[in-house]
Amino acid sequence: MCRVVDLQQAVLAKNDACAHTLREDLAARGTAVVNLLSSPGSGKTALLERELTLAHSRGVPVAALTADLATENDAVRLARSGVPVKQVLTDGLCHLEAEMLGGHLHGWLPADTRLLFIENVGNLVCPASYDLGETLRIVLASVTEGEDKPLKYPTAFGLAHLVVVTKTDIAEAVSFDEKEFRANVERINPGVEVVLTSARGGEGDGLLLDRALAARDGAPVHIPVMTRKSHHVHDAEDGQPHDEGHTHDDEGHTHHGEHAHAARAQDRGHAHTTDSDTVVSSRS
């Protein structure tokens, strides 16, 4: 067990170092990364397609990379927006990692890209612990998933810079209690903004794009309590600065159970790479 734990920490430490480099490299070229996390079926792809389409109509240079275990369905949908889209197939891996992301961006990402939207693999466990060099981490939950979702997945919601509620057009039909949901988010991540959206009804159109552009241009980004606690611990231990909003410690990340598969994969000598990736569209 000790070896597994040590490997887990090593995997995450390596990822954090890669994310730090990726963040600096992208910032130097004027690109901000928006990391979107959610459960399967949350409506993430539909909402992202609307935001990409809006960006394209405004002439904002954006791109999107979408990750799935299989199929290119989401990339085909996102490509309808007219922006550059790339599909990454993870071949069973439940999350993206910074090194993997950097490899797929090399030689593909257009030089003038202001925002890169990452549609992470659909789950709220594994992706939560992996920094992708993002400027903005957004966690989405649909009204059909239950008001206690933030309490069930505290790491994902606790490290979010923004929380998005989707499918609000059917909120009444499924008896969604917005007040209770907001209270649960506040318990996990005090002060984080919660916005309501509906890809079908149009509520919240442009909110993600506006928040992402503001963050890219230097507007203050919410710092989760989990992150602030991590900073106090690290600063006291080594006196070194750490990336704001992206640290991995036992307070905010349940590594010991959630990521044993990652450590064992490394122990067996298997790298986290994709079997294939497809560029679906280019900017028109």
Q: pLDDT value at position 116?
A: 98
Q: Which helix (H) or strand (E) holds 148?
A: none
This prediction's pTM: 0.82
Alpha-carbon gap, residue 284 to 260, rounded angstroms? 43
State how far the Cα of 278 lies from the Cα of 85, in Å rounded to an integer: 9
- Alpha-carbon distance of 15 to 223, in angstroms, equals 20
What pLDDT does residue 277 have? 47
CA 213 to chain centre: 16
Rounded Cα gap, residues 260 and 252, in angstroms: 17
DSSP 110: -
pLDDT given at position 268:
33
pLDDT of 93: 84
Paired tokens of 118: 């990452």
For strands 115-119 and 32-37, give the pairing: parallel
Phi and psi of 75, rounded to 5°? -65, -40
pLDDT value for 233? 36
**94, 122, 140, 186 from 128: Cα distances, Å:** 11, 11, 12, 18
pLDDT of residue 9: 80
For residue 89, give the nearest of 63, 121, 131 by alpha carbon: 121
Q: Quote the pLDDT of residue 7.
A: 67
> What is the residue-wise DSSP string for 154-198?
HHHHHT-SEEEEE-GGGTTTTT--HHHHHHHHHHHSTT-EEEE--
Instruction: Name residues of the chain where pLDDT drops below 70.
Output: 1-5, 7, 229-284
